[in-house]
Structure 1
Amino acid sequence: MNDILSSKRILITGGTGSFGKEMIRRLLKSDCEEIIVFSRDEFKQELLRAEFSGEARITYFIGDIRDFSSIKRALYGVNYVFHAAALKQVPSCEFYPFEAVKTNIIGSQNVIEASIENKVSRLVCLSTDKAVQPVNAMGMSKALMEKLAQSRGRSSKGTIISCVRYGNVIYSRGSVIPLFISQINQGKPLTITNPNMTRFLMNLSEATDLVIEAFENAEGGDIFIKKAPASNIHNLAIAIQRITNTDTGIQVIGERHSEKLYEVLASSQELQRSQDRGEYLRLSADNRRLDYTNQSEDNFTDNNIDDYTSHNTKQLNQDELEKVLLEIPEIQSSLSKMTSI
């Protein structure tokens, strides 16, 4: 990736989050000219500035993607954009759906249009498995973000606009594993919503690899996904207890607002337009015109193709789960703190 980044300016929206920090670490290994962290929280920017103290290539821009003039100004002279800013919590988006609309839909449209106006070469938008067959406001808002990206990806000649879609990133902010660790430290039972609920699992490094794969290889309107294993939430809780050598119990508390029993990374219709790229799948946009009088049989749905879900992907057994968890630096750090007490 270094050649394509040489002497380039890159902006990350929501750059103070888990993905932003990991992408910054990757970009600092390249010969890029500047990394711009765009976010609205000055305190988180101060924490990030302290974490990357002395890194002259990182600059910080206070702004909000909801404000078109703000993001347009930030993107002046930028070559590449990674769009990670979003409202991601399912329950809060259920209670405040218009906030999800303003950030995930209108804000994303602002990023897309500002990128095109500023002649950004490549824009990668980060989405979620909850955008496929969505049942909650967060997923619906992300699904519309994908549609906006695909729509402009068809018509924009100078800016390649693509999306990536992934499931749960292990130990990312707001995910369940930090909650489990906190509950263990307090001697409380691990709370799970539904023991049979399954989720795709990947670590932050794998999620960042997926974004880079799309960045390097996408055509306008593409969605990239990574083939990922899954686990049910009960086995995940047991694995956390086993690696921490604790048994504070497991408490089933019932499903939260609009949670799905399993997630879908790609629908059967999308898979018909997919390209297998080894670890990844490239889902190309449906670029047919609105004149349906000349359709061919190739456009008929193949009933033999199933959705790609967290129920029918590879399910990690207990030993595999523990191995995956023990490779996460944040979990290693948490275990180290536990043993030092």
Structure 2
Amino acid sequence: MYKKVLIVGLTSLPRKVIRGLLLTSDLAVLMLSLILSLQLLPGMEAFRETANALWLSGAIVIGGLTLNAAFRLDRIKLVMLNARDLLNIARFSFGIALTFWGAGTVLGMERIGAPGLVFGIFAFAGLVASRAIAVSILGGLRGHLHKRKSVAIFGAGAAGVQLASALGQSPDRRVVAFFDDNPTLQSMEIGGIPVLPSGNLVPEIFRNSISELIIALPDSAKKRRDAIVDLCASANVEVRILPSFIDMLIERGNARLRTVDPDEVLGRGKVDLDTPEVARSYAGRVIMVTGAGGSIGSELCRQLLHCQPAKIVLFEQNEYNLYRLDFELRARAKVCKVEVVPCLGTVTDAIRLSQMMRQHQVEIVLHAAAYKHVPLLENNEIEGVRNNVMGTKILADTAVQEGVARFILVSSDKAVRPTSIMGATKRISELIVQDIQTRAPNTKFSMVRFGNVLGSSGSVLPLFQAQIESGGPVTVTHPEIRRYFMTVSEASRLVLLAGAYAEGGDVFVLDMGKPQKIMDLARKLIHLSGRRVKDPVTGEGDIGIEITGLRPGEKLFEELFVSPETLCQTPHPKILRAEEHRLSEIEVAKLLREIHVAIETSNRENLRPLVMACADGWGLTGRFPPENKSASDAAMQFG
């Protein structure tokens, strides 16, 4: 106990006390250097006499105090000792050597050059050595006080070196090694820290008992950074990523080591959807994006700017989301010479929609406006169906009336064999659009169906990150629940490509690999955030995982299509077209008429079974879908 109190006291002394100790130490070094230079050099007997020695010592003390104030040696922070500080110590040593030479000349010392040089060298060596010893002692005391985690830094460049210097003051981390791909740096030491070859990354991590790897690579080395993250994840090594300089500026210098972004937790390679068809299809056109303020809608608008459209109409019912997006896009739109028009409104208002399309001469509609949160819509069926189903019907009819050339509906994997109101509304929206297509030859309708979008509002990624940040637990509804995942960028680019490939009434799906277990994703995010999953038996670890049970309307497994036999190829190898059953015009009209009556009379009891029975298009015909296969199996049929 007393030992700990002593260590805490020594490592947290007031600044004035530390400056006083440094000044005293420097004077002691000067006196020791003076004694050594007088004792070791021949012909100094006269100056070893008491009177001369006292005069010489007094001159050195006065000169030392004066030069210390001039070069501010007592203000040098020990743990941040750098080349500039060493230069100041060298200047001080040169000045004190001149003081020695001047005092010796006054006292009648002969051959003063050699003694002055030796004294200056001894002073410089002593001043540097005393600070190095102090740093070592302080580091040892901190090590006794705190059990510091051994970390390594990947990247021995400027960012990595600065990070190592900063972590030298950390009470809970100490840098024991650098890793770098540059062979000229390997086998070297930087500040006493060895630079190890990156080829043996995982073996060296375990050999040196490194518990955490911090990646300090530039943004241009993203592929290399992603490869390191995957390697560490497979080896169960904690990994963090140093924020870029821009990130730190945005955070006003308070940026923390961030966890990986959505691209890095996909569990598959990123799909390249950057094709020339996208730019050609939207260049010079007037485009309306409904739900523009949402996660998908806002990303669609950002990507559309690069396609050089004539105008983007931002249609959104949430005032704040519309304001925020308009404010963000203004500067970019000026650079791209694209007109951006913010419009408040709802897709259930036919008059407002017609006015906006006619006023701005809209040519393409990207329909991303929808209520999408499954548990929320289970208790709000009427508003969910009104917005998602009737809103789509009104918008599509208006688009045909106003001569819109293309209409792209953003759908969901929850539309396949739906078990929730949200999924059912999406499936009915698809059926409505396909039905309208049969009577609208001048408008090409298409739909895009994809899985969960990482990083979007309400998705598991921001939820898990917030839970981890607050100390847990991370909540998972079922240990076996699986989902397809894609990034916001991939989802938005897929929507734009669907417009380019549309032939009329198409349903497009993206090959997203195999579905991921949400439990595995939770463990990975905990691991990549620098924490450990808490063992429910032993209690060891940092963040627990809690199973909460499936929510109303939630499925264990999601599907992107009814059957792989319904899939056709498109010009892009990762995008497939699904040819699925459609309802007749009479069936759709009957369904919409009954839905409209249930909504107008607020009849939840009639609305729910009606929507759920007719959602997948089989309830009115008596036909049922064939047995489904996995997305990855289907994708293999098309290379």
The answer to whether the aligner puts 1:223 opposite 2:518 as a matched pair is no
2:59 corresponds in structure 1 to none
Code of the residue aligned with 1:201 in structure 2: it is F
CA offsets 1:53-80 (integer angstroms, 9 cap, x no match): 3335211000000111122222221010
Q: Of 215, 232, 256, which aligns to 2:551?
A: 256
Matched pairs, number: 301
1:274 corresponds in structure 2 to 567
Code of the residue aligned with 2:524 in structure 1: it is A
Q: Of 362, 385, 388, which aligns to 1:104?
A: 388
The answer to whether the aligner puts 1:167 opposite 2:451 as a matched pair is yes
Indicate the SS of the match to 1:19.
helix
Q: Distance in 1 between matches of 2:498 and 2:388?
A: 20
8 Å contact kept, 1:97–1:137: yes
Code of the residue aligned with 1:280 in structure 2: it is I
1:43 corresponds in structure 2 to 320
1:235 corresponds in structure 2 to 520
Cα distance, 1:194 vs structure 2:
0.2
Alignment CA distance shift 1:79-1:93 (3 Å): same
8 Å contact kept, 1:87–1:104: yes
Cα distance, 1:133 vs structure 2:
0.5
Unmatched 5+ residue regions in structure 2? Answer: 1-277, 533-542, 586-622
Q: Of 489, 497, 517, which aligns to 1:205?
A: 489
8 Å contact kept, 1:78–1:120: yes
- Percent identical across equivalent pairs? 31
**What is the correspondence of 1:81-100 to structure 2 with a 5 Å cutoff?**
81-100=365-384
What is the TM-score with the length of structure 1 in the denominator? 0.83
Indicate the SS of the match to 1:202.
strand
More strand by share: 1
Q: Distance in 2 between matches of 1:259 and 1:313?
A: 24
Q: Pick 1 or 2: higher relative contact order, CA cutoff 8 A, min separation 6.
A: 1
Q: Distance in 1 between matches of 2:552 and 2:629?
A: 23
Code of the residue aligned with 1:62 in structure 2: it is L
Code of the residue aligned with 2:351 in structure 1: it is S
Q: Of the two, which has the highest radius of gyration? A: 2
Q: Distance in 1 between matches of 2:471 and 2:633?
A: 35
2:293 corresponds in structure 1 to 16
Indicate the SS of the match to 2:298.
helix
Q: Distance in 2 between matches of 1:26 and 1:96?
A: 33
Runs of 4+ in 1 over 6 A off after TM superposition: 287-290, 310-314
More helix by share: 2
8 Å contact kept, 1:22–1:205: yes
Cα distance, 1:234 vs structure 2:
0.4
Q: Of 25, 44, 58, which aligns to 2:340?
A: 58
Q: Distance in 2 between matches of 1:117 and 1:67?
A: 15
2:480 corresponds in structure 1 to 196
Which of 256-265 and 54-63 deviates more?
Answer: 54-63
1:332 corresponds in structure 2 to none
Cα distance, 1:274 vs structure 2:
2.1
Cα distance, 1:258 vs structure 2:
1.4
Q: Of 279, 282, 285, which aligns to 1:5?
A: 282
1:307 corresponds in structure 2 to 628
What is the TM-score with the length of structure 2 in the denominator? 0.45
Cα distance, 1:206 vs structure 2:
1.4
Cα distance, 1:153 vs structure 2:
1.4
Indicate the SS of the match to 2:300.
helix
Q: Distance in 2 between matches of 1:283 and 1:310?
A: 12
Q: What's the RMSD between the two structures over aligned residues?
A: 2.2
Q: Of 341, 344, 352, which aligns to 1:70?
A: 352
8 Å contact kept, 1:265–1:308: no
